[in-house]
Structure 1
Amino acid sequence: MKYLLRSALLLWLLAALPASEAAAQGGLRRQERLSQLENARIAYLTEQVALTPEQAQKFWPLYNEFTAKRRELNRRLRQLRPVNTDGLSDQQIRDGLAQSFALRQQEITLEKEYFERFQRVISVRQVGRLALAERQFTKEVLKRVAGRPGMPAAADGLDD
């Protein structure tokens, strides 16, 4: 749950770059930053998980497939969250929560599936390192983003 919150917060923070900056640079600067972030994530995870070149060749396409599916589930989950429940009936709130639970269950099922698939490419110890390295990377990015002038202290209260 905390990982989901961190991931959503990270995506929100990255998407909330100042509008003037994005407009002035035509969005190129934002894309450049996202690309740099992705490259840093790949390098960090590769190092922390201690992937060999042969493992990396098989692992990264599988991991990218997994993260794309996980992002889609998180996107759908965010769309379900109402800004204000005051205008909703009890049944609408109940239905929304049920859909949210179903999506979260799908995420758990996805993680279990890919846990098995990852083990065909890397060792179980490396899979364990992967989970830890993902959390550490997200935590570090949140710390750095929160340290920027004009950005909220995003990492507060999200410690493991």
Structure 2
Amino acid sequence: MKLLFRSLLLLCLLAALPAVAQPGQGDRQARMSQLENAKIAYITEKVSLTQDQAQRFWPVYNEYSAKRRELYHTMRKLRTDDQNALSDAQVKENLTKAFALRQQEVDLEKDYFNKFQKLLSIRQVSKLFQAERQFTKEVLRRVADRPGGPPAGPGTGVVN
């Protein structure tokens, strides 16, 4: 049963990633949904979640993800302003806000680290954070490798 569960999750991952990396296939929301499904499959496989663990883990992880995404969007808004159009005081205020948001991000990770330990073994928690980074790198690599994708290299934000 466990092997079947993992095989199905891995199949979802392999099926979804190529579609995410190709432009013009459906709308953005469908691609984001595919990406999310691929991430679930990837993390479930890499962390070796049992079915019982997965049922308890994913609601907590989704809550964590939503809070982290909210912080990211707030931080991104600070960086979208044209720095040359801002006064020194406004630039300083934005930087101070960015530091506070980064601290909130660290505090959030610590809080959920403790919550995850109640659901998973410490080794699984470690694998979770590693799997998140690996998944992100893989998606960025696939996007960079697609025709018309951004060039990879230093300063481009794309990791090879």
Query: TM exceeds 0.5?
Result: yes
| Structure 2 partner of 1:9 | none
Match of 2:66 among 68, 72, 83: 68
Deviation (angstroms), 1:83 = 3.9
2 CA distance for matches of 1:146 and 1:64? 27
| Structure 2 partner of 1:126 | 124
- Matched residues, percent identical? 58
Q: Which has the higher contact order (CA 8 A, sep 6+)?
A: 1
Say what the alpha-carbon RMSD is for the aligned residues: 2.1
2 CA distance for matches of 1:92 and 1:60? 39
Matches within 5 A, 1:86-101: 86-101=84-99
Unaligned runs of 5+ in 2: 1-19
For 2:50, the aligned partner's letter is T
Deviation (angstroms), 1:85 = 1.2
TM value normalised by structure 1: 0.79
Equivalent residue pairs, number:
137
CA contact (8 A) 2:78 2:94 kept: yes
Alpha-carbon displacement from aligned partner over 1:102-143 (angstroms, at most 9, x marks no partner): 011000000000000000000111110001100000000111
1 CA distance for matches of 2:60 and 2:30? 24
Identify if the C-alpha distance between structure 1 residues 30 and 87 changes in structure 2 by more than 3 Å, giving closer, same or farther.
closer
Matches within 5 A, 1:108-123: 108-123=106-121
Unaligned runs of 5+ in 1: 1-13
| Structure 2 partner of 1:141 | 139
2 CA distance for matches of 1:130 and 1:107? 17
SS at match of 1:86: helix
2 CA distance for matches of 1:37 and 1:143? 14
Matches within 5 A, 1:7-46: 21=24, 28-46=26-44
1 CA distance for matches of 2:85 and 2:59? 44
Match of 2:56 among 31, 53, 58: 58
Deviation (angstroms), 1:159 = 5.2
2 CA distance for matches of 1:120 and 1:130? 14
For 2:59, the aligned partner's letter is P
